[in-house]
Amino acid sequence: MSLRLLVTVWALSMWLAMPASAAQPAAIVVGYLGESDDPLLPVGPLDEVPAREGLEGVRLGIADDATTGRFTNQRFELVERLVPKDGDVVAAAQGLAGRGIGLVIANLDAGPLLAAADALSATGTLLINSRAPDDALRGGECRPDLLHTIASRAMLADGLAQYLVWKKWTRWLLVVGRSPGDRLYADAVRRAASRFGAEIVDEKTWAFQPGNARTDTGHVALQTEIPTFTRAADYDVLVVADERDEFGAYLEGRTDRPRPVAGTHGLIATAWSPVAEQWGATQLQNRFHRQAGRWMTSRDYAGWVAARAIGEAAVRTESADAAKISGYLRGPDFLLAAFKGQGLSFRLWDGQLREPILIVGSRLLVSISPQAAFLHRVSELDSLGVDEEETTCKR
């Protein structure tokens, strides 16, 4: 054999032996579709308005995926589309699908989210909801290619109820704000009360205009208004539904009876909080703070989980194919480590992420639900939210 032939054979065999991946890494392109939200007005001087809420979580998740991708020879790319409030979400969604993007993380309210999902239904695009907690999206209004990484209101209320019932604080005064979300939160609280054996002794609706407690006499007015407003038959804990942060902060320390406050304020039920530090969460908090210059909210966390779920599925399937990734996310093997002490996965019946719910105080974690006393025959996580037998989702 001539030397030249030998060299050719050697080169050819090296080329054949070389993994395909040594060439251009496969790109997993993830779309981000966000609609600006009305900013919440700061209630107190320490409040910060979180910039790019949700998006920063997605960005961090994609960055984490990309670090892993360096070793699996996969490239992760995020295409961001941010629509102004009441902008054309459907056109933006179609634009992403038109680019061949089959995986989209949606930071949208329920209405625009459904519009986007319906517009994309024929394309097979997987949408991951990282913002809308509406139970209807997991029930009557569910869609086949829609997953949810943000906790539903039912999960938050159940997580809170389990803790309050464990405390034997079973008589609740329910205080509900003016927004549609508040009314839905209150529905979830009522459902949780009947599920876990609590009683709503009285209910109040907050009808005042968002007052300004920070004017010179603001506290004086509240000092007389709140006791009058909260006067009620005896109860153990005031449960407040104020998702827009309009008045919840006024309650603690001012109620007529000396009772704790829980719900959206006081003892807060949430999927994530800056106070979370268990199970290595400190690392995630540090990483997020370094990137975003602020603390991680539950919307940021839901965005991070969505991006990491896609990354995990891409790595495990060794694939950049959206259909394969989307299938794996809904398969029996998917399990995500997300600093909650156990693996997270999606419920097959409604696409909701099953995850523990944190009960947090203003500076520290208070508890984590599910509480040990609430058993479930499959996963105790399924004692939070809508279980398989109860679902109204047909998909």
Q: Segment contacting other proteins (CB under 8 A): 39-47, 62-70, 158-166, 255-263?
A: 62-70
- In sequence order, what are the residues at sequence separation of 6 or more whose Cβ sits closer than 8 angstroms to the Cβ of residue 37? 53, 85, 109
Report the DSSP pairing between strands 126-129 and 171-176: unpaired
**Per-position DSSP letters for 6-41, written without gaps between them:** HHHHHHHHHHHHS-GGGSSPEEEEEEEEEE--PPPP
- The span from the CA of 177 to the CA of 156, in Å, is 17
* Minimum distance, C-beta of residue 390 to other proteins, in the bound complex (Å): 21
Residue recorded with tokens 């040990």:
372
Angle between helices 322-329 and 298-317 (to 10 degrees): 110
Is the CB of 224 or the CB of 286 nearer to other proteins?
286
Residue with tokens 């394309």: 123
Q: Would you count residue 71 as binding other proteins (CB under 8 A)?
A: yes
Q: Is 64 in the site for other proteins (CB under 8 A)?
A: yes
Among 253, 280, 293, 361, binds other proteins (CB under 8 A): 280
DSSP-assigned letters across all residues of 367-384: EEESPTT---SS-GGGGS
Q: In angstroms, rounded to a whole number, what is the distance separating the alpha carbons of residues 169 and 32?
A: 42
Task: Choose which of 26, 40, 68, 291 interacts with other proteins (CB under 8 A).
Answer: 68
Residue 12 or 378: the one with the smaller Cβ distance to other proteins is: 378
Binding to other proteins by residue 94, rule CB under 8 A? no
Give the interface size with other proteins as a residue count (CB under 8 A).
Answer: 23
DSSP H stretches of helix in 178-318:
180-196, 218-229, 281-292, 298-317
Q: Helix and strand tally (H, E) in the chain?
A: 10, 14
| 379 sits near other proteins (criterion: CB under 8 A) | yes
Stated length of the chain: 395
Scan residues 308-367 and list those touching other proteins (CB under 8 A).
Answer: 308, 312, 315-316, 335-337, 341-343
Give 208 or 279: the residue with its C-beta nearer to other proteins: 279
**Residue among 8, 67, 215, 223 that touches other proteins (CB under 8 A):** 67
* Residues 116-175 contacting other proteins, CB under 8 A: none
Tell me whether residue 67 or residue 223 sits nearer to other proteins (CB atom).
67
Taking the complex as a whole, the smallest distance from the CB of residue 101 to other proteins amounts, in Å, to 24
- Catalog residues that contact other proteins under the rule CB under 8 A: 64, 67-68, 70-72, 280, 283, 286-287, 308, 312, 315-316, 335-337, 341-343, 379-381
